Structures are given as C-alpha cells and as structure tokens.
Chain A
Amino acid sequence: MRVWLGLAAILLLAMVVAACAGHAWASPADLWRALAGDAALRSRLLVEWRLPRVVAAAFVGALLGLGGTIYQGVFRNPLAEPYLLGSAGGAALGATVALLVPLALPQSWLLPLLAFAGAWGATLLVIGISRVAGAVDAAGLLLAGVAVAAILGALRSFLMLALSDETVSLQVVLSWVLGGIQTPTWAGIGWLALIATGCVGLSLGLARRLDVLGLGEAMAIAFGLEVRRFVMLAVLAGSVIVAAAVAYGGLVAFVGLAAPHVARWLVGPLHRPLLPASALVGAIVVVVADAIARSALPPAEIPLGLVTAVAGGPFFIALLARRLRS
C-alpha cells in the first residue's frame, strides 16, 4: 500500500512541477489562478496548452509502461520493448504520410489515426508473416518484426526524400519520430482517458495468464494454457496499447523498456500489481522527461525521445548496478 501511495504522490508532484515548467516558469499560484478562470494570455496558455500536454504525457507514459510489461511477459525477455514488433516503423510510416501528404482530413485527426493504423497494422503484418512462415513462436515473431521494421523504415525514408520541399519540412517528421507529446484539447483528453482505462482493463485481463507463461512454456501447457493462442492474443493486445501511446506521443524511446523493470523492483514479478505499477512509473518518467524537453533549452524544445534516452538511460543503468550489487 505504501508503494502505491508513494507512486501516486510522486506522479501528482511530477505533474504539478511539469505544469509549472516551461520556457517561462509558472508558480503553483499562477497555476491556481489560471485554473480559477483568469483571462490573461498566460493563464489561458497554462490551461489550454500546458496542462493538457502534461496530462497527455502521463497517459502516454502509462500506456508505454503497460505495453512494455506485456511484451516482456510474452517474450519472457527483459530486453523486450514495446516497439519490438514493427509498431515503431509502422507508426512512423503512418505519421510521415499524415505529415507530408496533403489529405482531406485535418492533420490533428490524421496524425494520431494514421500513426495508430501504422503501428497496429505493422504488428498484424508481423504476426501474419510469422504464421505464413510457420514460425509462430517468439523467435519467429521477433525475426519477422526485424524484417518488417527494416522495410517500413526504408519506405519512410523514401517518402521523406520524395515528398518534402520548402514548405513541408523534414524536421517535422524527424521530431515526431524522436518523440513528442501531442497536446489534445480537453475533449481529446477525455477520449485519451477512456482509451487508457480500457487498456488497463485489457492488460489486467491478461495478468494471470502472463504469470503462468512466466513459469516456462512446458509448465504453462501443464497448467492448461494454450500457449500459442495466448501469445498471439497478448501480442495483439499489447500492440493496440502501444499504438495508442504512439498516436499521442510519437516514438518515446526507452520508457517501455525501463518502466517494467523499475516496477518489478517495487512490487515484484506478479502481473496483477506489476501492470498498474509499470503504468504509474511510465507516467512519472514521461511527465518529468517531457517537462525537461519543454524547458531545458529555451527557446527550443528538445524531442522527448532524446530526453528519455539520454537522461533515462544513465539513471536506469545506475539503478540496475545498485540492484545487481546488493
């Protein structure tokens, strides 16, 4: 219980600090005034722009934590990460099309839609290929994922070369690929909350069977688990969750890999507590990293994926070293 309260308190604190952070720092009092309906431009910026982004960052982090935990559970590999099965390449391709090809829908819709379709479509493709090839075990999936990622990456690079010009900048695509939290409207945040709740429910539904699978394939079969079917099911669920995260956050490196490990140290390996704990850890990490990305180098914004990798990497290594030594 103490762990949960602690995580929740840290997340809340991180969100308040992040809402204050920016090129122009606000005080908690400013924040309060803005929430109370102050009409000044700066207050409106806080309410309409900065707060929704902080909330969206928390949800994206939570989704990445969930997705990473599911993938690590399915592949029984601590190095598994949410972008493993082609979802990164697919999402990036979808986003590139949305950003570079003039289409009828407004970009604010098109970008998350195509990123989601790309991420999920790519994972479906990977699963399909591994089935056709007859390699439906984890290794087969991983190899198909590597191949599909290479193809999608090449397609994206070609689109970037062929479609960019003076008005459509490659930097827009690049900065999306390097990770950046979208800023939904408050209505959009409502949708995101709904999606995230659904994802938590979906992943908790897998929790017990992930525990059984964790005992090893033979043991899982002995427990009556249809391993192959469950692996497919869990991968599909994981990829929906990751695709939702990608649609709202671009490609945020490293969080999906690291958050489950930190959560495991806090609550142990059983998935029922591990999944929500990973979600909370992921949310904290992305909220803090996004605040750094927005405020560290005024007037520029650093792509979020760079912050999570560069700042999160050493932090994770330090935690890991302490853990291994003790």
Chain B
Amino acid sequence: MSFFFQELVNGIVVGALYSLVALGFSMVYGVLKLLNFAHGDLYMVGAFVGYFVIQWFGGPKALAIPVPLLLVIMFVLAALLTGGLGVAIERFAYRPLRNAPRIAPLITAIGISFFLENAALLLFGGQYRIYNTPDFIPFSTGFRVGSVSVDAVQIMVVLLGLALMIGLRELVVRTKLGKQMRAVAADREAAEMLGINVNFTIAATFFLGSALAGVAGVMAGLLFNQVTNTIGFLAGLKAFTAAVVGGIGSIPGAMLGGLLIGIAESFITGYISSTFTNLLVFALLIIVMLLRPSGLLGQVQLQKV
C-alpha cells in the first residue's frame, strides 16, 4: 500500500506542475482562442533562468545567499522574464494575425516554439544543465508518514502551485482586470465597444500565463534537476492534455486536468512501465477528445451560425 501512496504523492506533485503550465495555456486560449504551442518553451526558458540564478549566486554547493531568498529570486526573475517574453511574442507575432484565418496563428505558434527551442540550443548548448537541488535543499528536510516520504521541494511545489492557482482564480473572479479578461474571452468586439482596452487585456493575460509557465519551469528544475532545450515540447504537450482533459478555457478544469494527468502518469510509470507512459497519456487524450471534446469541466460550445 505504501507504494500506492508514494506514487500518489509523486503524481500530485507532478500534477501541480502540469496544472500551472496548463493554467497559463488555458488562459491564453480563453482570451485569444489560440493554441499557444510556444507555451511549453516558455517553461523551458523559466527553467534556464532558475539555473542561471543558482550559478550567479555561487552554484549549488556554495550559495552566497540564504536558500529562501534564492528561491524567491529564482521564481520572481523567471516569472518576469518569461512573462515579458510572452508579451513580446504576442505583440510581435500574434497581434498582427488576430483577424486572420484560424490556421495562421497556429502555424506561427509552431514556428515560435521551434525558434525558441533552437535559440536556446544556440545560447545554452545541447547538454543537460544540472540544478543539484539536494546540495542546497537536502532530501532530509521533508517528513515521512510510515514509509511514504515527502521532501521539502515537493511540499513547496504543491503549496506554491496551490497558492498561485487560488490567487489567479481570485484575480479572475474579483479584480477589474479579471472582469476585463472574462469579457474579452466572451466576446472581444463587444468588450471593445464597451471601452475595454482589449490589447492591454490580452497582453496582461499573456504576461500572467507565461509567468506561470516560467514559475513551473523553475519548479521542474528543482524537482527533476535536469534542464535542456527540449524539455519544453513534452511539457507543452502534457499541458495541452491537462487543459483539454479539464476543459480548455476553464481554470478549475486546468487544475483538475493537470492533477489527473500527473497522477495517471505516475501510476502508469509505477505499475505498468515507464516506456509506455507517454504513449498511454496520448491515447488517454485522444479518447477524451473523441468522447467529450469540451473536456470534463468545459462547457459545450454551440457553433454559431
């Protein structure tokens, strides 16, 4: 039984990570109705930012500043940089295509994803960069319940993820910006007529969504320890899966979808075989798409005539 719970814990931790990426992805889809294929690559950029922050402050073995401060700097810097990058991408590549046929921004997004992946290869090289998290956050700083162990990084990932998700939900439900986002998502033209600055709202959404991806990237670096330029693609795919399973455009849906994918992946790896994990996750997605294209919590959209 302890194996079951250990896998469950791992699944929830990874699921929290996927939820964060899926959340940003889902937000962007909500306002722009665009599948941002470059989202996974922003996650990769975030992971690299975290790595360079560690190196900047003396490397994992000889940190010049206390660990909590380091973590704060990593997360904030990654969020700001990826957020800015997301806004730049939107301004440069997506805004001119806002009224183009749907296929045009999609192909642009694929191009941006490919460009970012290879720009990272040019700048950082193809080798794996290692965070060496255990050197500054030892495994022993967690707690154990019976034979199930939870280390500090895992707790932090889940708590931070949860806090960000709740914060985002409050932002969308309670603030003026959130209201504007919902209005733009519902009907962009009508929102514009009512005096909402659509360009600003979309840029803000891109900033928030991309920043979430950046934070998730740092988390992934801390959890999995390895960073390279290709991690973004698979993470992006998993995030699509999570967002779609939960119902694209819905915030609780993205959270639920992320958790489900994370747990499912963990159990498949633990009980069946790690070689089939991706294949089964993809199969799961295709089945969900066929049976319920609007996802678990999404609303069925009627096609307008």
* A, B in one complex: no
- Chain A residues proximal to chain B, CB less than 8 Å: none
